[in-house]
Structure 1
Amino acid sequence: MTKTSVAKKLFSATLLLLASTSLASAEGTLQLFNWGDYTSPELLAKFEKETGIKVTVTDYDSNDTALAKIEAGASGFDLVVPSANYVPIFAEKGLIQELDLTKIPHHSNIAPEWMDVPYDPGRKFTIPWQWGTTGMAVNQKAYSGDVNTSAIFLDPPPELIGKVNVTPEMNDVLALATMYMGGEPCSEDAELMKKVRDKLLEAKPKWGSMDYGMTEKMSSNDVMASEYWNGAIFRVRLANPDVKYGYPKEGYIKWMDQVALLTDAKNVEEAYKFLDFISLPENAALISSYARYANGITGSEAFMPEDMKTAPEILIPAEFQAAGHFLPACTGKAQDYITAIWTELQK
């Protein structure tokens, strides 16, 4: 054997060793693409301890941000957490894959009311993460009037002018404004949507900001009112008892976020272990205990903190039950109107 052939064999062996080392280092990892400040560190630590799988979480601030990133391709993520009205969009674009339920034996723990949902019948694509509402949060030191109305941001009382935040979630803002003006979300009524546009443009100069991060900003009295999510405002109230959450009587948003397996996921087996893990009541409760939203897993309530069982941000008052609406996925003219109004509002 020549020196050249020996060298070639050694080089090939080295390449194989490097390749196997690289593959080994990739095993036991999982990439989760989730909303910011929404994933329990305790849950991740428990999952890693029980499975040996390390989860890396990358944050996003909106459904549109997540969709654009994944649609661009080669995101490197395995799991994503879209809201209900975005699940059909992800599925239709082929970005998420149908689940093999034999690999999620605790799938049966999903509560009956969250199993056969219109956006994912039979839960073929997703596992529940958390659900909640989008309503109004008001610091009662600044304003002691009615908080159960979208007038808080669409017709702000004098005490709140310049002190109101609007969370820059296009579909949420347009839906709340449409219901405030007497319509239904995803309306194709041109005259109604013109009124919605005019109302938003009239209201905008009275806002102080269009931003996220209200958990910190309302806790510290930097913002006096905001259209925001119930669980985050629950956390605010624990830090700042002057803050109260309201359910707009004109109509507010109900939503559920759920975990889906991306079509181009690399760590598929690890992803299935995570999906089954969060389907256990005690683990779903860890998710809720951190972010302070309800979840869709039967029996998780028994593992919840006591304050979640009576929280007004979690328990929707009977008088406002009928005003809650799950948002459909807007299409056609409805989406064109929404996008055009939002574009004008951003100017």
Structure 2
Amino acid sequence: MKTYLTTTVAAIALAGAAHAEGSLNIYNWGNYTSPEMIEKFEQEYDIDVTITDYDSNTTALAKIEAGGHGFDIVVPTHSYMGVYIDKGLLMKPGIPEMENYGNISDQWKNVEWDPNREYSVPWQWGTTGVAVNKSAYDGDINTSAIFLDPPEELVGKVNVVPEMQDVMNLTLFYVGGEPCTTDKEMLKKARDVLIEAKPKWMSMDYGMTEKLSNGDVMASVNWNGSTFRARNNNEDVAYGYPKEGYPVWMDSAAVLSDAQNVENAKLFLNFIMDPENAAMLSSFARYANGIDGSEEFMPEDMKTAPEIVVPEDLKAAGRFTTACPAEAQEFYTAIWTELQK
């Protein structure tokens, strides 16, 4: 590994060519990877890519910690990156020495959860809010009351994605608290609101793009890109930015410390830092990507989409939350476990 860190760009390219065959196993969020981009990578490097889906950060972390998974790359949200690093689950693949490293936007290059990008490269970033079918409800959608105190029109028609960190943070914002708080009174407020709201929900499922598109679900805690795709299929779908507060996040691709196809994984990280390839990710999943120059390759509608362009009066409500300390995480997990019953 140290040898790789000190090689030149030219040597990296040669090493990549020498190992450009075999396979690569990616563990990623479902319906989040551009098939077109994967096909391009496979053809360019003669590498067979297998993608396995997960539905939450907690699911992915548990699977990887258990070992024997066979994955090479994982795509955690920034708030989980520190956990992966502290547990020794990721390797340093020499990202700053990669040919396309300079394409990372300055705001995403030296980030708190991965200083100098030693472990990961940007995948995509966005927000977590609420998606609503306006044919079922035409009131204010810029509020977490959509799922925490659903209006009568939406009772029994609301989904909540099973992503603990997002749901807990939205709820804490709603009750006037802060993410990662250890204030037991505030946590009890959040817990009580969630427990009271749950009977009014329809489900706690991942993968809302198709269900929102088809009208199977009338509202959901959801991510902006997924909602964007649903609106493209159904003009009644709209995205709300909760005025009480909503999470801003980034997912990043990283090489697992027990990866079997390390050189192929390195090739892939460098590949997705190319602007045209990063644009394929965004064009498919409809999130921003953190790679300079990618905008010119993306669909025109991404420049004006309401799911991408945050209303001025709601920008300040967006919060980029960091990983919670252990004590807060324990409280989150206890509440989440009770909610699952």
Query: How far off is 1:78 after superposition?
Result: 0.8
Residues 306-325 of structure 1: CA deviation (Å, up to 9, x unaligned): 11111110111221111111
- 1:172-251 alignment, distance < 5 Å: 172-251=166-245
- 1:283-298 alignment, distance < 5 Å: 283-298=277-292
Taking the aligned partners of 2:154 and 2:160, their CA distance within structure 1 comes to 12
Taking the aligned partners of 1:116 and 1:175, their CA distance within structure 2 comes to 24
Q: Which amino acid aligns with 2:167?
A: V
What is the aligned counterpart of 1:321 among 295, 315, 335? 315
TM-score (norm 2): 0.92
Identify the range of structure 1 (197-206 vs 232-241) with the bigger mean alpha-carbon deviation: 197-206
Decide whether the 8 Å contact of 1:128 with 1:295 is kept in 2.
yes
- 1:330-345 alignment, distance < 5 Å: 330-345=324-339
Residue in structure 1 matched with residue 10 of structure 2 by the alignment = none
Decide whether the 8 Å contact of 1:103 with 1:272 is kept in 2.
no
Taking the aligned partners of 1:62 and 1:106, their CA distance within structure 2 comes to 29
2:50 is the alignment partner of 1:56: yes
TM-score (norm 1): 0.91
Residue in structure 2 matched with residue 260 of structure 1 by the alignment = 254
Residue 308 to residue 26, structure 1, CA distance change in 2 (3 Å)? closer
Stretches of structure 1 that go unaligned for 5 or more consecutive residues are: 1-24
Does the residue aligned with 1:130 lie in a helix, a strand or coil? strand
Residue in structure 2 matched with residue 143 of structure 1 by the alignment = 137
Does the residue aligned with 2:222 lie in a helix, a strand or coil? strand
Decide whether the 8 Å contact of 2:31 with 2:207 is kept in 1.
no
Query: How far off is 1:244 after superposition?
Result: 0.5
Residue in structure 1 matched with residue 158 of structure 2 by the alignment = 164
Identify the range of structure 1 (225-234 vs 47-56) with the bigger mean alpha-carbon deviation: 47-56
Q: Which amino acid aligns with 2:168?
A: L
- 1:82-121 alignment, distance < 5 Å: 82-101=76-95, 104-121=98-115
Decide whether the 8 Å contact of 2:147 with 2:221 is kept in 1.
yes
Taking the aligned partners of 1:314 and 1:248, their CA distance within structure 2 comes to 15
Decide whether the 8 Å contact of 2:55 with 2:162 is kept in 1.
no
Q: Which amino acid aligns with 1:345?
A: L
Identify the range of structure 1 (65-74 vs 327-336) with the bigger mean alpha-carbon deviation: 327-336
Decide whether the 8 Å contact of 2:182 with 2:327 is kept in 1.
yes
Q: Which amino acid aligns with 2:143?
A: T
Residues 290-332 of structure 1: CA deviation (Å, up to 9, x unaligned): 1111101001000001111111101112211111112221123
Query: How far off is 1:64 after superposition?
Result: 1.0
Taking the aligned partners of 2:293 and 2:256, their CA distance within structure 1 comes to 28
Residues 226-269 of structure 1: CA deviation (Å, up to 9, x unaligned): 00011000000000000110100100011111000111111111
Larger radius of gyration: 1
Decide whether the 8 Å contact of 2:74 with 2:255 is kept in 1.
yes
2:267 is the alignment partner of 1:280: no
Residue 218 to residue 101, structure 1, CA distance change in 2 (3 Å)? closer
2:11 is the alignment partner of 1:38: no
CA-atom RMSD in angstroms: 1.5
Identify the range of structure 1 (327-336 vs 278-287) with the bigger mean alpha-carbon deviation: 327-336
Decide whether the 8 Å contact of 1:33 with 1:77 is kept in 2.
yes
Residues 143-202 of structure 1: CA deviation (Å, up to 9, x unaligned): 101110001001111111111111111111111000000011111101111111111111
Taking the aligned partners of 2:331 and 2:63, their CA distance within structure 1 comes to 24
Q: Which aligned runs of 4 or more in structure 1 are off by greater than 4 angstroms?
A: none
Stretches of structure 2 that go unaligned for 5 or more consecutive residues are: 1-18
Identify the range of structure 1 (256-265 vs 48-57) with the bigger mean alpha-carbon deviation: 48-57
Query: How far off is 1:26 after superposition?
Result: 11
Taking the aligned partners of 1:277 and 1:297, their CA distance within structure 2 comes to 12
Query: How far off is 1:27 after superposition?
Result: 4.3
**How many residues end up aligned between the 2 structures?**
324
Query: How far off is 1:99 after superposition?
Result: 2.5
